[in-house]
Amino acid sequence: MQNADQNPEPNQMNRNIQALPNLRSSLIAALILTISIGLNSCRKNNSLEDESRIDSLFHFYSDNKPGGQLAVSRNGRVIYSKAWGTADLESNTPLTTTTLIEAGSVSKQFTAAAILLLEQQGKLRLSDPAAKYIPELPGYGQPVLIRHLVHHTSGLREWSDIAEFAGSPLALNVPDNQAVLDIICRQRSLNRMPGEEFRYSNSNYILLALIVEKASGMSFADFTKKYIFDPAGMIHTQWRTDPAKVVPNRSQAYEFKNGAFRTLMPGNGIHGPGGLLTTAEDLLKWNDFYSTGTLGGKDVFRKQIAPDTLDNGDPNNYAAGLFVENNVPKPSFHHGGATAGYRAKLICAPSQGISVAWLSNTSMLDTIGINLATEVFKMLGKATDNSPRARKPATGFKPDHENLKSYAGLYKSGQSGRDVDITLTPKGLMLSETLLDPVDEHRFRFYDMSLTFDGQGGLTVVPPSAEAIRYHLVDATATAEPADQYIGTYFSDEVGAPIKVLKKGNELELILVSGALHPLRNHFKDGFLAHEIQSDLVFQRNNEDEIEAFEISTARSLRIRFGKVGQGKSPRLK
């Protein structure tokens, strides 16, 4: 797709010149030749300059370490494609531009595209209840629609959180999509009712992959190969449906731990939310395929990039497997990915003519604080196209200043490593020396973030294109509660396993069925944070003021209830 700010291609210029009247053909030919030579020279110089600038970002990759691939296209033409590092440290196999690397959640846009194609084929509708195709799915008082799954507004909990609480190790020993469905169907409650809130959950895309199979009568892998991979020319791309299958030219994945690289491979056949084995160059072909409307025409493209709207009218910037960056003059579509030691990022900016694909077989760059694909995109794009729009004007709402006193204080969350410190000034509430813009008595804006106070010590922060994070107001008197009352074994039918609360010294800790121990930190009455598993625990009391249960929440799975069991009746811990 051509950027109007760039020089036109020579063939377009030929047509323009040939339309001019009263010019001799020799003059036209000479002019065409002069312009074409100048454009080719300019393109070559720009290409060399871009290559040098991009190379400078990847200096940390070396031949004796895991590495990655980066491919970049401009207006549909590949201008950069390189690979660095080693695909397999044991055999010392070099990583090349055709080595297969797993794309993590970048995979979701292919799953969503399959759903859109099936709708175009008349085999389903986005407005269909998911239970039409998956009758095992529990009823929640309101139907979960296919469009809720696509846009992460279903309210379904993250299946992998449940699996970890059930005792699976960090590698998540859950074999396939059907086993994940069993976990999803055990959940008798939702995070929120469908359509109320964006909250990212891989459970949504497990169900979508299963719906593709039910609606098409084909395996998910066969359907996507026939209707997406083959037509797009993605000759290297396939799904990881069988972890034991020998896949030629696949890279091994690694983490960097205790000063050494360690193998960290996915050990299951779960696919749909992830599990795509591909190359950076194949991902560029995909960007070109869908952004030009070749995938099912303009109607499918429109639905693929269309942001969602929540039931309350608030925007949801998650389209069909794509985050939409629309707070800039020229929007872009992007998604990152992480599975085991694999990392990925794919960016498509049709109005700028730029696509960037990055894949890596190591998680070693997680701590550098930047994403390489994003940096390359910023480097190649114009600042005027990618600079955020000006901050929204103030709402003008004036809250009762007296009511704001209860909102001030330090807030903590097990779901986030960052505290939120709210201060009250004569002008209003402030965060990081910036005045919060009130929307009403409870809701405030902080740049593009939404902050909602519940008046009972709770704060919900919603960053742009991210799930909400629940914070709790720190209560200095909380530690006065005796720790012994919380000790015991707690069981959840939804998880299918117990969790023990033990006392170690003056502190409490959790012990999962897997044997993993996680310390608890008390910051508010009956409330604890478990930072190691990014969770919050809130204990519940009965009418006699005795502890009878706790609810544990992660960023993607809220209020999972564990009831306290009697002495001698505890389910046996492994």
Instruction: Say whether pTM exceeds 0.85.
Output: yes
CA–CA separation, 439 and 451 (whole Å): 10
Compute the average pLDDT of residues 388-408.
Answer: 89
Identify how many contiguous H helices and E strands the chain contains and give both numbers: 13, 32
Name the token pair of 208: 């979508």
pLDDT in tens, 275-286: 999 999 999 999
pLDDT (0 to 100) of residue 40: 37
- The CA-atom distances, in angstroms, between 22 and each of 16, 28, 135, 449 are 14, 10, 73, 61
Read off the pLDDT band of 44 (50, 70, 90). Answer: very low
Residue 104 DSSP class = G
Which residue type occupies 11? N
CA–CA separation, 242 and 240 (whole Å): 6
pLDDT (0 to 100) of residue 388: 85
Class (C level, CATH) for 403-473: mainly beta
CATH placement of domain 60-156+191-386: 3.40.710.10
* 429 beta partners: 424
pLDDT in tens, 66-88: 999 999 999 999 999 999 999 99
Q: Are 232 and 139 in contact (CB under 8 A)?
A: no
Q: Are 232 and 68 in contact (CB under 8 A)?
A: no
pLDDT in tens, 519-564: 999 999 899 999 999 999 999 999 999 999 999 999 999 999 999 9
pLDDT (0 to 100) of residue 32: 31
What mean pLDDT, rounded, does the chain reach?
88
Question: Which residues are within 8 A (CB) of 155 and not within 5 positions of it... i.e. 6 or more apart?
Answer: 140, 144, 148, 190, 191, 192, 193, 194, 196, 197, 199
Least confident of 35-49, 199-213, 309-323, 325-339: 35-49
CA–CA separation, 548 and 565 (whole Å): 8
Provide the percentage of residues in the chain whose pLDDT is more than 90: 77
Instruction: For residue 368, count other CB atoms closer than 10 A to its CB.
Output: 9
Q: Are 100 and 278 in contact (CB under 8 A)?
A: yes
Query: Which residue has 């999972």 as its token pair?
Result: 560
Residue 96 has pLDDT above 60, yes or no: yes
Residue 35 has pLDDT above 50, yes or no: no
CA–CA separation, 129 and 147 (whole Å): 9
Which residue type occupies 32? I
Residue 200 has pLDDT above 90, yes or no: yes
Burial tier of 342 (Cβ tally within 10 Å: 0-12, 13-18, 19+): buried
Question: Which residues are within 8 A (CB) of 133 and not within 5 positions of it... i.e. 6 or more apart?
Answer: 124, 210, 211, 214, 215
Identify the three-state secondary structure at position 524: strand
pLDDT (0 to 100) of residue 28: 31
**Per-residue exposure over 413-437, b if at least 16 CB sit within 10 Å of its own CB, e if not:** bbbbeeebebeeeeebbbbeeeebb
Q: Are 224 and 110 in contact (CB under 8 A)?
A: yes
Q: Are 344 and 356 in contact (CB under 8 A)?
A: no
* 102 beta partners: 277
Compute the average pLDDT of residues 407-425.
Answer: 94
3-state secondary structure 304-332: HHCCEECCCCCEECECCCCEEECCCCCCE
Q: Are 71 and 280 in contact (CB under 8 A)?
A: yes
Q: Are 317 and 465 in contact (CB under 8 A)?
A: yes
Compute the average pLDDT of residues 438-460.
Answer: 93
pLDDT in tens, 463-475: 876 788 999 999 9
Instruction: For residue 157, count other CB atoms closer than 10 A to its CB.
Output: 26
pLDDT (0 to 100) of residue 169: 57
Provide the percentage of residues in the chain whose pLDDT is more than 70: 90
Report the candidate in 67, 102, 72 with the shortest Cα–Cα distance to residue 84: 67
Burial tier of 312 (Cβ tally within 10 Å: 0-12, 13-18, 19+): exposed
Report the candidate in 147, 438, 191, 449 with the shortest Cα–Cα distance to residue 309: 147
CA–CA separation, 321 and 304 (whole Å): 8
pLDDT (0 to 100) of residue 574: 41
Residue 37 has pLDDT above 60, yes or no: no
Q: What distance separates the 2 farthest-apart alpha carbons in the chain?
A: 101
